[in-house]
Amino acid sequence: MNCRFISIAVAAALATGFGTTSAFAQSTTDTATPAANHPASADDQSRGPLASTAKQLADEGIKLRSALIDQYASNTTGGVRQGHTNVGQFNIGADLDLDKLLGIGGGSFHVTVYRDYGQALNQNVTGTFTKQQYIYKNPYERWHLGLFAYEQKLLDDRLDILVGRLGSTTFYGHLITNCQFQSGTLCGEPRIIVSEAGFSLLPSATWGTNIKYRTTAHSYLETGIFEVNPTTSASNGLDFSIGDATGFTVPVEWGWTRTDPATTQYPFELKAGGYLSTAPLSDPYYNTLGLSRALHGGRARQINSSRDGVYVMGDRVIWRPDPIGSERISVFGGVVQQLDEAEIMRQQIYAGFVWTGPFRSRPTDTLAFSVNEFELTPREREYLDDARIKAGGSGKNNAHQTDYEVSYGLRLVQGLQLMPNIQYVVHPDNSTIPSTKVLPKNMLVFGLGLRVDIGYLLGFEHAQADD
């Protein structure tokens, strides 16, 4: 059966389940925590060597955090080439409670510095639009000031406003379940939103404002406006000018969630949103003379129209035998639809499940499966076909690419997780490496991820997901 219809069927089943769920209050949950949505316990409190120092600083209004994510991936067959790479990102930051420090009620300040390293498998080996290592952000191995923002909460914390250097992907298109995978199809948001919505991805922060208002105890509306500046990824993040800005992006999201397992037998999230970006686009096919860029060269024709799209997504716990235990099965699904054609991909449909506690002896491990179906735009397929002819090859890319992943999250101790995974890609594109005579065949990729919550291991609180 076609995987596209399987994905749609699962997503439809999810929507049906949400429709019969009662509304309750929402609680904030770390989307990167391996055993997300399990009740807090004494084991969640860090006993690291600096725990007493961390508590003293927190009492004074200073919370420190640090994390490292490292991901190895090897393509054994298919794609443009076979090979392996290793990438990673280290970050360290602080959250300052300005009420405790300066007496500014509801005020806080956040700062995070990043260090990326390594080259991605899809950039140098497989050539796919989708990433086999989600942590890869850019090819620049340098220290980078990312998050640098002031936050103000008002109206009994119902209104939350952030202003400063932000990554817009921090706020939109997230599901708790979607970071139990290594591929860059879902974590922390769907691939199309990351790359084709004009969003900024930390550490490449840009100027922005984000506003979130809780309309009820269990629903919210969120929007913002964010600078689009393609020069920030290559910088150290200290240039705060807007001279190289090319436009702005305005996202909006509505959410209905209940994620606190202490008050909800089957926690859930349902989110719908859209985005509009004014930054100019590069035509996938034509050059400035109106000819095939792949065959005749030249610069891509600029399209001065907005890029926009919409999405709907959700997840829900469907099995939870013990209300105070961590064991559960969650299902998720979603659709992202681009509304313009000047893109690489115009649609993403995805679904899957996360089983927390698959073995009684491993109550916080996760076994996860996901399937993502992407549709290439006609112009991108034409461009890849012409580029292949120019390189001396032949054959046409399939309109639909399907990515599968199975992963196992092995939590060695609180704050330290290994994630072996297998990825299989049917009809892979080669949009990242278009100048090749190879028509990519199905790919089989083996990966191994490592997540280290350094701050927690030292005695501080869990680091929060931020992209």
3 state DSSP class of 257: strand
CATH number at 3-458: 2.40.160.180
Say which residues have a Cβ less than 8 Å from residue 61's Cβ, sequence separation at least 6: 96, 97, 98, 99, 100, 101
- 335: phi then psi, degrees, rounded to nearest 5: -135, 135
pLDDT of residue 467: 55
The predicted pLDDT at position 341 comes to: 81
CA distances from 412 to 248, 369, 416, 418, 421 (A): 43, 21, 6, 7, 16
Q: Are 147 and 113 in contact (CB under 8 A)?
A: no
pTM (2 d.p.)? 0.88
At 167, the amino acid letter reads G
Residue 465 near residue 189 (C-beta atoms within 8 A):
no
The predicted structure's pLDDT at residue 74: 98
Instruction: Please give the pLDDT value at position 40.
Output: 42
Question: pLDDT tens string for the chain (467 positions)?
Answer: 344 433 333 333 333 333 333 322 223 333 333 344 444 444 456 678 999 999 999 999 999 999 999 999 999 999 999 999 999 999 999 999 999 999 999 999 999 999 999 999 999 999 999 999 999 988 889 999 999 999 999 999 999 999 999 998 899 999 989 999 999 999 888 999 988 888 888 889 999 999 999 999 999 999 999 999 998 988 899 999 999 999 999 999 999 999 999 999 999 999 999 999 999 888 999 999 999 999 999 999 988 778 899 999 999 999 999 988 999 999 999 999 999 888 899 999 999 999 999 999 999 999 999 999 999 999 999 999 999 999 999 999 999 999 999 999 999 998 999 999 999 999 999 999 999 999 999 999 999 999 999 999 999 988 765 45
Q: What angle do CA 207, 299, 431 make, to 5 degrees?
A: 75
Q: Give the closest residue to 312 by CA, choosing from 12, 3, 6.
A: 12
Domain spans of the chain? Answer: 3-458
